[in-house]
Each structure stands twice: as structure tokens, then as C-alpha cells.
Amino acid sequence: MIRRLCVIGVGLIGGSLARALRQAGHCHEIVGAGRSPEHLQQAVRLGVIDRFETDPARAVQGADMILVATPLGAMRGVFAAIRDHLADDAVLTDAGSAKGCVIEAAQSAFGGLPPGFVPAHPIAGTERSGVAASFAELYRDRRVILTPTATSSPQAIARVRTMWEAAGAQVTQMSAAHHDEVLAATSHLPHVLAFVLVESLARMQDQREIFEYAAGGFRDFTRIASSDPVMWRDICLANAAAVQAMIERFLGDLQVLDQAVAAHDGERLLELFNRAKTARDHFQQQSPADPNDE
């Protein structure tokens, strides 16, 4: 049981965890923290949190579990603000989509990595944001990746694992570097492509007609372009090396496709499309599609 959970950043991700833990009876008290009193008051009205503070230092006092669910660019400041106010038994974790930068931020803010610090990434979400979009089932049967540091204590790792399992998640563990490479390919690149495609089409002179005739495939592919732009800016900057590597790889593959189209090379196109279909069908059998995967 968590005695007091402090959620810094009560949006879709933090709010959904709070709802899930409350529903599971895994938490006695939930304290929210953020910059907007109006937003936090809404979280109280919705029953997501019990009370709130706009000062993170006050919010974490007495908490035995702290989740930082802010944009990546804000984490260093949050860590610095709470550094001297954590309880002796406090476990500190996060929900950032890139892990190397979070570990660097903690190292800088704390002057070292605390044994109670366990970075994590719930691979779940929707294109919506804000506490009103949160729901208790968001993490059910979704993956959460823990990326403990060399100094993370076994007890802290176990507590974070138990928390996410109580929310219904499937918890795995890997290094931060490996996480950032994998997520750059499977999450970060698809989001970047969706944003760029929509932005590119929006600049075309006949954009109204293009969007009017957009079919289901366009909507499915570009749905994630409705995600929070600030969050995805931070992810691209925080995981820049891995994201750039994937973009360059994709550009090379796109060039091959361009050459095949230019040469009217139907055999090459069919070979490429067949390989893609086979890989996609295999993936679909192993992991059925879910609208809450991000």
C-alpha cells in the first residue's frame, strides 16, 4: 500500500495512475501538484486527487511515493525544487518517454542519483491530454518499462513495480540507453512522421479539399498528431540522437521507395510492400491493436 502518493503533473498520465490506484485500493491519500490552481481544483472535483499544492516542495512532504509526470523539459526544475523535502522512505519515479535525459536531470539536481529514484515509462496514452481525459483503465494490460540506475535500491524498484502492477500494467525492465533506442523507433518516429505529414498537407494551397477527402487511413495514421505538441517537442530534444538516427534511417528507406516509383519498378514496390505487410501481420498477431497504445 502507498501511504501518500504525490503526483506532480496531474494530466492524462498522472491522473490515470491516480484513478487506477484509487480504484484498486492501493493508495490511502493522493496529493496533486502543478502550476495551475484551476486545473488542480478540477482534479479534486473529479475525484482524481484528494488535495493539492502549487509548490512541489510542499506537495512531496510526507509522501512515500512521488510520480513526476511533467513534460521532460520541466523535470530538472521539479527535481531541484523537491530535493531537500523528500521523506526518508520516499520513492521517486517518473513517466517520461525518454529516460537518459531524466537520469541526467536527476543527477544534476540531486548531485547524485538517490537510491529511491527509479525511472519508468508507461507505454500508454491517447491523443487527448489533461486530467479530464484521464481514466482508470488506461494502463490495463499495457507495458510499463522500468530503467533503474546503478544506485536504485531493490526495495524502491519493487515498490514501483508493485504500484504499476496494481494499476493493471505489465512491467518490464531494461537499461535507459536501450529504452531510448527502442522507443525512438516504435513511438517517437511515428509521432514525428504524423506531425510532419499533417503540417505538410496543411501548407498546400488546396488543403481544404485534401482534408475533406481524407479517408480512414489518413485519420488512423495522423491521429497521434493531435497529441500535446509541447510534450513531443521535449521528447525530440531529449532523445535527439536516437530520434535523428531513426529519421536518417527512414529517409534512406524512403529514398529507395522514391527511386522505385520513379523507375516504374513494380517488382521492387511489390517486394517492399509484401515484406511490410508480412511484418505488420505478424506484429498484429503477437500484439493486437489498441487505441490506447502510444
pLDDT in tens, 171-202: 999 999 999 999 999 999 999 999 999 999 88
Q: Which amino acid is at 94?
A: D
Integer CA distances (angstroms), 132 to 34, 42, 83, 103, in order:
15, 8, 30, 29
pLDDT digits (tens, 9 = 90+) for 115-172: 999 999 999 987 788 999 999 999 999 999 999 999 999 999 999 999 999 999 999 9
Average pLDDT over residues 46-69: 97
Task: Please report which residue ranges of 111-262 form alpha helices under DSSP H.
Answer: 154-166, 176-183, 189-202, 207-212, 216-222, 229-238, 240-262
> Would the pTM count as exceeding 0.75?
yes
Instruction: Quote the cell numbers at residue 9.
Output: 503533473
Query: Which pLDDT does position 291 carry in this prediction?
Result: 44
Q: Is the predicted pLDDT of residue 241 greater than 80, yes or no?
A: yes
Which pairing describes strands 143-146 and 120-123: parallel, antiparallel, or unpaired? antiparallel
CB 85 within 8 A of CB 108: no
- The Cα–Cα gap between 25 and 48 comes to 13
For residues 48 and 170, give the distance between their C-alpha atoms in angstroms, rounded to a whole number: 22
SS (H, E, C) 69-125: CCCHHHHHHHHHHHHHHCCCCCEEEECCCCCHHHHHHHHHHHCCCCCCEECEEEECC
Residue 206 has pLDDT above 90, yes or no: no
Residue 110 has pLDDT above 60, yes or no: yes
The pLDDT score that the predictor gives to residue 218 is 84
Structural domains in the chain, CATH included, are 2-174 (3.40.50.720), 178-286 (1.10.3660.10)
pLDDT digits (tens, 9 = 90+) for 251-262: 999 999 999 999
Cα separation, 80 vs 34, in Å, equals 15
